[in-house]
Amino acid sequence: MKSDSNLERVLAAGHFAVTGELGPPRGANLETIKEKAAHLKGMVDAVNVTDNQTAVVRMASWAVSLVIKEMGLEPNYQMVCRDRNRLAMQSDILGASALGITTMLCLSGDHPSFGDHPQAANVHDIDSIQLIKMVSTMCEQGRFLSGGEIDTPPHMFVGAAANPFGDPFELRALRLAKKVAAGADFIQTQCIYDFPRFTEFMRQAHDMGLTEKTKILAGVTPLKSAGMARYMANKVPGMSVPAEVVKRIADQPKDKQAEEGIKLLCEQVEQLKTIPGVAGVHLMAIEWEHRVPEIVERAGLLPRPQL
Amino acid sequence: MITAQRKPMEEIFQSVERFGKILLLGCNECVTVCHAGGRKEVAMLASALRMGRLKQGSPLAVDELTLERQCDPEYAEELALAIDKYDAVCSMACGCGVQTIAGRYQGLPVLPMVNTTFMGASERQGVWAERCAGCGDCVLGLTGGICPVARCSKRLFNGPCGGSSKGKCEISPEVDCAWQLIWDRLKQLGQTELYTRIMEPKDWRTARDGGPRRIVREDMAI
Ligand code: SF4
Ligand code: SF4
């Protein structure tokens, strides 16, 4: 094992992994974190703690990670390249590791124009692939990006994101290969509704030998309503929601749409289990943490292994 | 070239409020090409200022002059004899020109009349687009001739991010995704293997992050 990560143990033991997600609050507020985390406890192997997601200011992802770690969950500490330069990133990684954070996810980050401070400087000192390589080098070689020696190196199970639905499609597996070469131990994908395209992406990744070098968790998000399905289909860049998926939710009366969304998700999980190279699912139940126990139960993902 | 856009009229009127006689100073280089501060734009702004101030009942005397190159001390010298007549110089050159004039005539207010915007090229009549961020260590040879620093909204060196959609950037359907363009050109050039290499973190010292930059050419010095 390269780290103390629970997710690493679960994947190494060959279990079909499940990760969840928790969005930090827009305030110095511990109560909502604890409430959200309580719903996820025992339901998932690690919980992504988002880093100023959609470029909106929220409580620091390392702080929220520590809070949920104390509650006995495993945080997957997210870090974006938008808000910090290489000095700040490396010092945060040292601090996170020293305080017991073992799993992290390296991301580019949404552009500030989407968020609540569109006036902000858009840092991008390094990009997400360079970040993956920087963390891996810090952990494995005990060296900073500058080459300088780290007196006590951090230990992290290093993750990255992949979006099979971004364009150009022919680059998606190649870019994944770069992330794996940079040192990504695991990958979480964008939410999947377009199965033909995802299956093709996985075939390419599998053929390139990437599924042997990294563990790919397929992203799933329950559609809560027809409005949400339409929004995901039309408004989110780099997202593919086929018309029949939107129709399936929209054909239900309003009070049955959420139920249909969960049903769809359960079918998706079953289908994902059959795709070669899919090592688990990443469940992004956006502002729906309280429904996670029911969702993982119905999707046949319980109990979670205790290792 | 350096591109610029004239400041809003309201801001311009406010900035010259306290003056009675100004020199409106254009430049014959980049700002002429991008129609922001050449002879023609100087003439237009001068009459707008005269008329506006006449209407307000506090006439403004505006002399017009366009230098060959405002960012060159040699041309800045041309103002030396007449400069004392003015309350201020209102420059329609880029920020480099404004500062050259201000540096030469220390006692006089020198005000910018344009917002200097970016280094770019003309896409078609009336449209200019950013092409270079002056990073000081050009990688165009590795990226199919498309600049990832100036043209990718996240200046990614190993793009594209997940937001690239149908050739456009996640920030707007009006903005091309630089990494789509890079990939298309690499394919055309038969250089796709360049993409598979990880581009290492950039040394930003050669860009603005290393502090203000200078070029010193001993061989050119006199
Ligand atoms: S790589 Fe640097 S120098 Fe070359 S075009 Fe881009 S910003 Fe300009
Ligand atoms: S969509 Fe393309 S241009 Fe825009 S930030 Fe992503 S990679 Fe860069």
- Would you state the structure tokens that stand for residue B85, as one six-digit string? 């007549």
Distance B159 CA to ligand 1 centre (A): 16
- pLDDT of amino acid A237: 81
Look up residue B54 and give its amino acid.
L
Q: Per-residue confidence at A110, pLDDT binned at 50, 70, 90? A: very high
Smallest CA–CA distance from B149 into chain A, residue: A124
CB of B54 closer than 6 angstroms to any ligand 1 atom: no
Say if residues B116 and B91 touch (Cβ distance below 8 Å).
no
The helix (H) or strand (E) run that includes residue A191 is strand A186-191
Smallest CA–CA distance from A80 into chain B, residue: B154
CB of B154 closer than 6 angstroms to any ligand 2 atom: yes
Rounded average pLDDT over A74-85: 98
Say if residues A141 and A172 touch (Cβ distance below 8 Å).
no
CB of B139 closer than 6 angstroms to any ligand 1 atom: yes
- pLDDT of amino acid B37: 98
Counting beta carbons within 10 angstroms of the beta carbon of residue A293, is it exposed (0 to 12), middle (13 to 18) or buried (19 or more)? middle
A110 with B198: Cβ contact below 8 A: no
Tell how strand B88-91 and strand A278-283 pair up. unpaired
For ligand 2, mutation pick of B157, B168, B169 (most atoms within 8 Å of CB): B169
B198 with A82: Cβ contact below 8 A: no
| Chain A residues touching residue B162 (CB < 8 angstroms) | 108, 161-163, 165-166, 190, 238
- With a CB cutoff of 8 Å and minimum separation 6, the contacts of A140 are A2, A153, A183
| Chain B residues touching residue A54 (CB < 8 angstroms) | none
Q: Please give the number of the atom of ligand 2 that sits closest to the Cα of B155.
A: 8
- pLDDT of amino acid B184: 98
| Chain A residues touching residue B158 (CB < 8 angstroms) | 127-130, 175, 178
What's the CA gap between B58 and A101, in Å, rounded?
68
- With a CB cutoff of 8 Å and minimum separation 6, the contacts of A232 are A191, A193, A221, A223, A239, A241
Smallest CA–CA distance from A131 into chain B, residue: B201
| Chain B residues touching residue A129 (CB < 8 angstroms) | 157-158, 198
At how many degrees (to 10) do helices A257-273 and A243-250 cross? 140
Confidence check: pLDDT of A62 > 90: yes
Locate the domains of chain A by residue range.
Answer: 6-298
- pLDDT of amino acid A238: 85
- pLDDT of amino acid A236: 87
- pLDDT of amino acid A286: 85
* Per-residue model confidence as pLDDT tens digits over B186-219: 999 999 999 999 999 999 999 999 999 999 999 9
- pLDDT of amino acid A287: 87
CA distance B160 to chain A (A): 8
At how many degrees (to 10) do helices A169-182 and A128-141 cross? 20
CA distance A174 to chain B (A): 7
- Least Cα distance to A184 among A126, A107, A269, A238 occurs for A107
- Least Cα distance to B134 among B119, B151, B144, B154 occurs for B119
- pLDDT of amino acid B160: 97
Counting beta carbons within 10 angstroms of the beta carbon of residue B164, is it exposed (0 to 12), middle (13 to 18) or buried (19 or more)? buried
CB of B199 closer than 6 angstroms to any ligand 1 atom: no
| Chain A residues touching residue B171 (CB < 8 angstroms) | 111, 113-114
Q: How many CB pairs under 8 A join A and B?
A: 97
- What order of strands is seen across the sheet that includes strand B21-27? B61-67, B21-27, B88-91, B110-112
Using a CB–CB cut-off of 8 Å, the residues of B that contact A are 153-167, 170-172, 177, 179-180, 183-184, 195-196, 198-202, 204
Looking at the CA of B148, which ligand is closest? 1
- Would you state the structure tokens that stand for residue A127, as one six-digit string? 């990009």
- A109 three-state secondary structure: coil
Residues of chain B with pLDDT under 50: none
- pLDDT of amino acid B31: 98
CA distance A170 to chain B (A): 10
Q: Cα–Cα distances in Å, from B175 out to A116, B164, B183? A: 21, 10, 16
CA distance A190 to chain B (A): 8
Locate the domains of chain B by residue range.
Answer: 2-117, 134-210
Q: At CA B169, angle to CA B137 and CA A175, rounded to 5?
A: 70
CA distance A66 to chain B (A): 28
Class of domain B2-117: alpha beta
* Per-residue model confidence as pLDDT tens digits over A263-299: 999 999 999 999 999 999 999 998 899 999 999 999 9
* A6-298 CATH fold: TIM Barrel (3.20.20)
- pLDDT of amino acid A146: 98
| Chain B residues touching residue A83 (CB < 8 angstroms) | none
What's the CA gap between B142 and B183, in Å, rounded?
11
- pLDDT of amino acid A1: 87
